[in-house]
Amino acid sequence: MKKSLNYALCYAILAMAGGVFYREFTRANAFDGVTALGKVHTHFFMLGMIVYLIIALFSRNFDLDSEKTFKVFRALYNTGVPVTGIMMGVRGVFEVLGTELSKGASAVIASIAGIGHILTAAGIILLLVTLKRCDAKSKVSQ
């Protein structure tokens, strides 16, 4: 549980930093449109902090750390979510600055963000598999 709460805290800090950066960067550049940069804040809050708070609640009833799938989840998820957030930030900075990206540069950003999304999705699936296994184990032991 302690590890999950620590991850939640880290993601909350990232979310707040993303929000402050978005606000100050757009203000400094007199930008008032919609940008991917504005979504970094909520992605880190929801995919990071909230998910880990929910995991902390589950860890009160299940020994998640003893499951191999949970360890793989943590590695994939904690790679995927930051990669996704960082690439949203990169795209957002270019949008705020009004920088026209080449098709190749845009494709690279989209590809790396896509890899982040794939890792995040794989992590979510592994988390659900882990929770199902733990639930089945708890029913057998009752």
Provide the pLDDT for residue 140.
Answer: 73
Is residue 63 a contact partner of residue 141, using CB atoms and an 8 Å limit?
no
Is residue 55 a contact partner of residue 123, using CB atoms and an 8 Å limit?
no
Q: Which two tokens stand for residue 133?
A: 């296994």
Q: What is the three-class DSSP state of 36?
A: coil
- Token pair 């992605």 is found at 43
Provide the pLDDT for residue 84.
Answer: 97
Provide the pLDDT for residue 98.
Answer: 95
Provide the pLDDT for residue 129.
Answer: 96
Provide the pLDDT for residue 69.
Answer: 96
Q: Which two tokens stand for residue 59?
A: 């860890």
Provide the pLDDT for residue 139.
Answer: 77
Q: Which domain holds residue 61?
A: 2-141
* Residue 97 C-alpha from the chain's centroid: 25
For helices 103-141 and 51-59, give the axis angle rounded to 10 degrees: 20
Instruction: Please state, in angstroms and rounded to a whole number, the distance separating the CA atoms of residues 22 and 39.
Output: 9
Low-confidence ranges of the chain (pLDDT < 70): 141-142
Provide the pLDDT for residue 142.
Answer: 62
Provide the pLDDT for residue 138.
Answer: 84
Question: Please, what's the b/e burial string for 38-52 (b: 16 or more CB within 10 A of its CB; e: otherwise)?
Answer: bbbbebbbebbbebb
Total Cβ atoms within 10 A of residue 66: 10
Q: How many domains does the chain have?
A: 1
